[in-house]
Amino acid sequence: MASSTQSPTRILVLCTGNSCRSQMAEAFLARAGGERVAVSSAGNHPSAVHPLTIRVLAERGVDWSGARSKPMTELLDRPFDVIVTVCDDAREACPVFPGGGRRVHEAFRDPAVVAGTEAERLAAFREIRDEVEAWAEEFVAAL
């Protein structure tokens, strides 16, 4: 675990679209780790941050309204201590990340593919948010 005299642990979270799961992981890792971590997220096919991602994060007190979806290529020249893939597609698309350290894979279901009513879609986003939040807290505690 990094102390205040050490550099923060640099974490990159990768996903396909950088719209849901990786955004949630970035938010919760940063909140759980505080100054001990520096977290970024990106996607191999970035789109836009999903509005329901912003909504369910706000329910946990995280203002994510200014976030943007980023391509992995934007971060290729930055060193990371840990590369986390949160979907199988990202793990397969990025077997090696330049400047990347330890690899961690934790696949979460994609809430964006859930069809149904607004309430059903929101429930899916909340479920994944809760899973990602619990995982992020455990992950940071183990650093």
Q: What is the pTM of this model?
A: 0.91
The contacts of residue 124 (CB under 8 Å, 6+ apart) are: 109, 111, 114
Task: Look at residue 20 in the predicted model and tell me its pLDDT.
Answer: 97
Q: Is pLDDT above 60 for 17?
A: yes
pLDDT value at position 44? 87
Q: What is the per-residue DSSP string for 20-47? A: SHHHHHHHHHHHHHGGGEEEEEEESS--
Report CA Rg, the chain: 14
Confidence of residue 91 (pLDDT cuts 50, 70, 90): low
Q: Which has more confidence, 1 or 18?
A: 18
User: Of 13, 67, 82, 87, which residue is the catalytic one?
Assistant: 87
**Marked catalytic residue, from 94, 104, 123, 143:** 94
Length of the chain: 143
Residues of the chain with pLDDT > 70: what percent? 89
So what's the pLDDT on residue 119? 97
What is the overall mean pLDDT for the chain? 91
9-136 folds as Rossmann fold (3.40.50)
Domain ranges of the chain: 9-136
pLDDT of residue 3: 46
Order of strands across the sheet that contains 37-43: 37-43, 9-15, 82-85, 102-105
| Residue 87 annotated as catalytic | yes
Task: Mark whether 20 is an active-site residue.
Answer: no
Assess contact for 62 and 31: CB atoms under 8 A.
yes
Predicted confidence (pLDDT) per residue in 23-70, tens digit: 999 999 999 999 999 999 999 889 999 999 999 999 999 999 999 999
94 is catalytic: yes
Q: Give me the amino acid identity at 42.
A: A
Which among 12, 13, 14, 15 is annotated as catalytic? 15
